């Protein structure tokens, strides 16, 4: 335990927002939760160190801070750190419940029932049921909560009441709704990750569930309808009717899903568009961009107020593919402030370079690329690809030759780039062959063209063929 920065408690500390830090300190000052002053000192010390972002935190100085008159004792320090970790986890549970009042109120009902307070249970349960019906959210968790609320009353009925409604039909119905919605959602996730996992499997009962919804049951429930049409669209890309219905349902029900879930639903629909684009259906560029615009307008695509660099890049490239350069320029400036501060400048400069590359304004693109500090390997590969085309088209052959060598070396150093390795290596190989061709060598050009067309996995394939044409 020489390095405190590697401990569980320090990882928990770094996960706290500024607001969380303030609330956690109040939590530690409450005698009900904590009566140890050294734990408060420890918390303040770790917060200060986390702000400084030190890579290594030595144990000895920390122990001296906590126990100035005591010889260093690793076990004592470990126990104090462990005690703070327990309190941090307890705080996180309480904060979670504060953000989900229905679940907290359900826990209260359970407690009242177990303590033998039937009248208070009845009052609280009726208020819980009313609050549940009045909230906007209608995702699969909504149906599971309905099931739990009905089940809690059933437990109360068995113990105390023996009179009135026992909600058994409601329990069965809500459990069915939750199960079907959860199963369809999980199936959509499996389809979305299918390419990464390189394996195909289906969940048990999925065929029966699809058949039941096909008959018309449950289609008026947002949690089922959205994932039903999402699954059908993703599993049968040629069936555009389900995609059209999915879009309609997103516009109709986006407010009835938690932000994290509706963001995933938007991305599911966008991924469908990308699959269609890969099949050559160019009209889905506009479809994907429209979905991005909708998700940005209602802030569904923001996460904790930030737009991911991945989605920022995707929106820009879709807009450029449609030649909407004025709109793209406005988008880049308007949403620059929505990028996470740690990656904002790099992401902005890299995408601005791509914008000028596509216009084309190659001098501006080169100047901007030189300012980018690449942390993402795929963006780095993309930048080198841009430079390759720029040097070729500007006939900067010395610079191009040097780039091809360094590009190849860089690719061989990357261990986890999958199929991109062959795609970029093929690009480098074919560019070298293209450079070796004489302008008058029509037979050689035709032979190279045929070779490129026959080769699977070539980055910038269309551009290479255009140079030969």
Report DSSP state, residue 36. Answer: -
Structure tokens of 158?
Answer: 């068995």
Nearest one of 246, 255, 300 to 273, comparing CA atoms: 246
Cα 205 from Cα 240, distance rounded (Å):
25
Cα 126 from Cα 187, distance rounded (Å):
35
Cα 292 from Cα 270, distance rounded (Å):
8
Please report where in the chains the tokens 């407010």 appear, as a residue. Answer: 255
CB 201 within 8 A of CB 190: yes
Q: For residue 58, what are the β-bridge partners?
A: 3
For residue 304, give the 3-state DSSP assignment.
coil
Cα 445 from Cα 426, distance rounded (Å):
17
Q: What is the pLDDT of residue 193?
A: 81
End-to-end CA gap in the chain = 65
For residue 58, give the 3-state DSSP assignment.
strand
Structure tokens of 67?
Answer: 């126990």
Triad 398, 400, 403: Cα angle to 5°: 115
For 136, the enclosing helix (H) or strand (E) is: none
Q: What is the pLDDT of residue 192?
A: 84
pLDDT tens digits for the chain (469 residues)?
678 888 999 999 999 999 999 999 999 999 999 999 999 999 999 999 888 876 678 888 899 999 999 999 999 999 999 999 999 999 999 999 899 999 999 999 999 999 999 999 999 999 999 999 999 999 999 999 999 999 999 999 888 766 667 788 999 999 999 999 999 999 999 888 875 555 667 788 899 999 999 988 788 899 999 999 999 999 998 889 999 999 999 999 999 999 999 999 999 999 999 999 988 899 999 999 999 999 999 999 999 899 999 999 999 999 999 999 999 999 999 999 999 999 999 999 999 999 999 999 999 999 999 999 998 999 999 999 999 999 999 999 999 999 999 999 999 999 889 889 999 999 999 999 999 998 888 999 999 999 999 999 999 999 999 999 8
Q: Chain centroid to CA 443: how far?
A: 50
pTM: 0.85
In the chain, where the domains are located:
4-99, 136-301, 305-373, 382-469
Q: Is the link from the previous residue into 360 a cis peptide, with omega within 30 of 0?
A: yes
Report DSSP state, residue 71. Answer: -
CB 143 within 8 A of CB 181: yes
Cα dist from 431 to 138, 227, 317, 449, 456, whole Å: 54, 45, 24, 12, 16
Cα dist from 270 to 185, 263, 273, 286, 339, whole Å: 16, 11, 5, 11, 20
């Amino acid at each position: 335990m020489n390095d405190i920065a590697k401990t569980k408690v320090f990882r928990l500390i770094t996960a706290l927002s500024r607001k969380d830090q303030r609330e956690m300190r109040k939590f530690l000052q409450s005698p009900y939760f904590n009566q140890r002053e050294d734990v408060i000192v420890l918390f303040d010390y770790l917060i200060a160190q986390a702000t400084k972002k030190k890579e290594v935190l030595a144990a000895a100085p920390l122990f001296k801070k906590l126990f100035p008159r005591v010889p260093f004792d690793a076990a004592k320090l470990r126990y104090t750190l462990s005690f703070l970790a327990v309190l941090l986890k307890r705080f996180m549970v309480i904060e979670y419940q504060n953000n989900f009042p229905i679940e907290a109120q359900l826990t209260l009902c359970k407690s009242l029932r177990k303590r033998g307070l039937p009248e208070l249970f009845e009052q609280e349960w009726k208020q819980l049921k009313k609050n549940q019906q009045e909230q906007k959210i209608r995702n699969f968790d909504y149906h599971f909560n309905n099931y739990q609320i009905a089940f809690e009353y059933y437990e109360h009925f068995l113990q105390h009441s023996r009179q009135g409604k026992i909600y058994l039909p409601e329990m069965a119905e809500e459990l069915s709704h939750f199960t079907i919605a959860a199963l369809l959602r999980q199936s959509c996730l499996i389809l979305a990750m299918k390419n990464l996992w390189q394996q195909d499997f289906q969940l048990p009962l999925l065929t029966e569930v699809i058949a039941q919804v096909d008959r018309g049951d449950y289609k008026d429930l947002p949690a089922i309808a959205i994932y039903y049409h999402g699954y059908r669209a993703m599993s049968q890309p040629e069936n555009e009717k389900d995609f059209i219905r999915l879009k309609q349902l997103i516009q109709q029900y986006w407010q009835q899903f938690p932000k994290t879930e509706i963001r995933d639903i938007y991305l599911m629909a966008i991924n469908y568009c990308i699959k269609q684009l890969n099949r050559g259906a160019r009209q889905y560029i506009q479809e994907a961009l429209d979905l991005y615009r909708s998700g940005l307008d209602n802030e569904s695509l923001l996460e904790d107020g930030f737009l991911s660099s991945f989605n920022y890049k995707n929106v820009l490239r879709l807009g450029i593919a449609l030649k909407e350069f004025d709109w793209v320029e406005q988008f880049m400036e308007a949403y620059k402030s929505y990028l996470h501060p740690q990656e904002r400048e790099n992401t902005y400069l890299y995408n601005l370079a791509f914008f000028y590359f596509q216009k084309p304004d190659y001098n501006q693109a080169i100047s901007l690329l030189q300012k980018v500090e690449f942390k993402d390997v795929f963006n780095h590969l993309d930048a080198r690809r841009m430079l390759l085309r720029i040097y070729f088209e500007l006939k900067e052959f010395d610079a191009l030759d040097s780039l091809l060598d360094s590009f190849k070396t860089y690719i061989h150093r990357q261990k986890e780039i999958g199929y991109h390795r062959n795609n970029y290596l093929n690009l480098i190989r074919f560019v070298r062959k293209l450079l070796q061709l004489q302008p008058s060598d029509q037979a050689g050009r035709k032979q190279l063209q045929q070779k490129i067309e026959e080769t699977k996995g070539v980055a910038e394939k269309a551009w290479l063929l255009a140079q030969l044409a």
